[in-house]
């Protein structure tokens, strides 16, 4: 047809890929991370003029150099992972919960309140149970509020949850001023320093390891739970359907409103629990820095891992490794440790970009001669 011949085929065509084997997908992602690490090395090299391999070695020392450092790295990984586990169901449902910071903070506030008012009064096991319930309830409430407005009026949850973060930060500042100790320091200090009331118990006798064991174990338990919850439970199935298409879910007779509310209760609850671990198990104090940006970084973790909890372990370990490593570089060369944020950004940019090559095929225009032999 003359008409057909006159339209030029575009140089590059993009076609949706179907049924790509999942291991190839993970291979592409791993390649993207490698490429990103290469760029990061280049970046570090231009700044410090040092052999990147040596820098990565010094980073490894910073993260795993001693038994204690290694366990602190594990503990921080667990803290980040915990938030990511909380965010996974919400993000899988395409509910953009960027309010994890706030949910962690309110969980932390209620934990601190329990420690201060009950820690020295009740037996430890009872205090811990109360703290777990209080922190996850308050986190759940913080997550439920935006979900209520979203399901009733379609209020934009991205900005709503974001604003809830700031409300939580100010609320924390309010309680810090209320509980400050010693007066005038504008910090709460270590709560129950002498009596250790309400502190999560240490496990084992090795002082280098014992304080970090329980937080890691709790989060590992949550990881297993979340994996099967999302993959094998009816509720997990409903979450993935609502995430893919609300209309499909409605057509299948699912109560979308109920699913959204229930999932946000769970999501906020786990984030609140992360606040509990943070306050009762790690810092034993409350400040506006308790969440420390984890609420945002955890989004990256959940997204990169495609909501697979076991993959999340590796992603959070990678990010924490970069963080520890970057602060090691920073102290070695007198720079500040924000470099890890840059690296995080670069890695995520690459992996986000790589998704394209997992989902689509790029077809270049074929050579005219071989394409039209019989034209």
Partner 1 sequence: MIDSIIQWIQSAVAFGTVIMFGCCGEILTEKSGNLNLGIPGAMYMGGIASLAGAFFYENACLTAGSTPNAILCILIPFLCAFAGGALGGLIFSFLTTTLRANQNVTGLTLTIFGAGLANFFGGSLNKLAGGVGQISISNTSETYRTTVPFVKSTGFFGEIFLSYGFLVYLAIAIAVILSIFLKRTKAGLNLRAVGENPATADAAGINVSKYKYLSTCIGCGIAGLGGLYYVVDYTKGTWNNAGTIETLGWLAVALVIFTTWKPLNAIWGSYLFGFLYWLYLYIGLFGVETTRSTISLIQMLPYLATMLVLILTSIRKKKENQPPESLGLPYFREER
Binding of partner 1 by 202 (CB under 8 A): no
Binding of partner 1 by 340 (CB under 8 A): yes
Q: With respect to partner 1, which residue has the nearer C-beta, 42 or 129?
A: 42
Residue of 22, 352, 361, 372 that binds partner 1 (CB under 8 A): 352
Binding of partner 1 by 35 (CB under 8 A): no
**Burial classification of residue 270, based on how many CB atoms lie within 10 Å of its CB (0-12 exposed, 13-18 middle, 19 or more buried):** buried
**Burial classification of residue 16, based on how many CB atoms lie within 10 Å of its CB (0-12 exposed, 13-18 middle, 19 or more buried):** exposed
Residue of 4, 125, 153, 364 that binds partner 1 (CB under 8 A): 153
To partner 1, the closest distance from the beta carbon of 346 in angstroms equals 7
Given the rule CB under 8 A, which of 58-66, 107-115, 135-143, 333-341 is the region that contacts partner 1? 333-341
Binding of partner 1 by 297 (CB under 8 A): yes
To partner 1, the closest distance from the beta carbon of 183 in angstroms equals 11
Q: With respect to partner 1, which residue has the nearer C-beta, 56 or 296?
A: 296
Please give the biggest Cα pair distance in the chain.
91
Given the rule CB under 8 A, which of 50-58, 133-141, 195-203, 346-354 is the region that contacts partner 1? 346-354
Query: Which residues, 250 to 279, sit near partner 1 by CB under 8 A?
Result: none
**Burial classification of residue 118, based on how many CB atoms lie within 10 Å of its CB (0-12 exposed, 13-18 middle, 19 or more buried):** middle
Binding of partner 1 by 182 (CB under 8 A): no
To partner 1, the closest distance from the beta carbon of 174 in angstroms equals 4
Query: Which residues, 40 to 69, sit near partner 1 by CB under 8 A?
Result: 47
Distance CA 291, CA 64 (A): 23
Binding of partner 1 by 154 (CB under 8 A): yes
Q: With respect to partner 1, which residue has the nearer C-beta, 228 or 356?
A: 356
H-helix or E-strand spanning residue 69: helix 67-92
Binding of partner 1 by 289 (CB under 8 A): no
To partner 1, the closest distance from the beta carbon of 221 in angstroms equals 27
Read off the tokens for 80: 């980040």
**Burial classification of residue 67, based on how many CB atoms lie within 10 Å of its CB (0-12 exposed, 13-18 middle, 19 or more buried):** exposed
DSSP string, 205-249: S-TTTHHHHHHHHHHHHHHHHHHHHHHHSHHHHHHHHHHH-HHHH
Find, among 200, 207, 204, 196, the residue nearest to 282 by Cα.
200
Handedness of CA 324, 135, 147, 234 (dihedral sign): positive
Binding of partner 1 by 177 (CB under 8 A): yes
Distance CA 369, CA 226 (A): 55
Query: CB of 278 within 8 A of CB of 79?
Result: yes
Binding of partner 1 by 29 (CB under 8 A): no
Distance CA 164, CA 101 (A): 9
Q: With respect to partner 1, which residue has the nearer C-beta, 128 or 242?
A: 242
Query: Which residues, 110 to 149, sit near partner 1 by CB under 8 A?
Result: 149
Residue 364 half-sphere exposure toward CB, CA atoms < 13 A: 3
Contacts to partner 1 by CB under 8 A: 14-16, 47, 96, 98, 149, 153-156, 158-160, 162-164, 166-167, 170-171, 173-174, 177-178, 186, 296-297, 299-300, 303, 334-336, 338-346, 348-349, 352-353, 355-356, 359-360
């Amino acid at each position: 047809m003359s008409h057909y011949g006159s339209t030029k085929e575009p140089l590059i065509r993009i076609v949706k890929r179907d049924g790509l084997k999942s291991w190839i997908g993970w291979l592409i992602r791993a390649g993207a991370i490698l490429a990103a690490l290469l760029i990061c090395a280049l970046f570090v090299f231009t700044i410090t003029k040092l052999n990147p391999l040596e820098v990565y070695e010094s980073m490894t020392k910073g993260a795993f150099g001693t038994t204690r450092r290694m366990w602190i790295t594990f503990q921080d990984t667990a803290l980040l992972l915990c938030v990511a586990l909380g965010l996974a169901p919400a993000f899988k449902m395409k509910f953009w919960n960027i309010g994890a910071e706030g949910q962690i903070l309110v969980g932390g506030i209620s934990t601190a309140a329990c420690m201060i008012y009950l820690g020295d009064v009740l037996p430890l096991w009872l205090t811990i149970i109360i703290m777990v319930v209080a922190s996850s309830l308050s986190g759940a409430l913080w997550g439920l509020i935006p979900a209520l407005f979203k399901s009733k009026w379609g209020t934009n949850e991205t900005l709503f949850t974001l604003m809830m973060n700031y409300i939580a930060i100010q609320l924390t500042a309010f309680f810090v001023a209320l509980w400050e100790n010693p007066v005038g320091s504008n910090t709460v200090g270590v709560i129950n320093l002498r009596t250790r009331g309400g502190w999560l118990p240490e496990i084992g006798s090795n002082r280098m390891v014992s304080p970090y064991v329980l937080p890691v174990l709790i989060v590992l338990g949550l990881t297993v739970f979340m994996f099967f919850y999302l993959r094998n439970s009816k509720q997990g199935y409903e979450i993935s359907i609502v995430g893919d298409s609300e209309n499909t879910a409605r057509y299948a007779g699912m109560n979308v409103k109920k699913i959204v509310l229930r999932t946000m209760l769970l999501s906020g609850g786990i984030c609140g629990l992360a606040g509990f671990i943070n306050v009762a198990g790690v810092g034993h104090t409350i400040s506006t820095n308790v969440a420390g940006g984890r609420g945002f970084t955890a989004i990256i973790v959940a997204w990169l891992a495609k909501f697979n909890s076991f993959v999340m372990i590796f992603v959070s370990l990678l990010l924490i490794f970069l963080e520890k490593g970057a602060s090691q570089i920073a102290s070695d060369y007198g720079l500040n440790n924000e470099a890890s944020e840059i690296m995080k950004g670069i890695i995520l940019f690459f992996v986000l970009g790589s998704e394209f090559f997992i989902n689509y095929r790029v077809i270049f225009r074929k050579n005219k001669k071989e394409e039209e032999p019989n034209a």
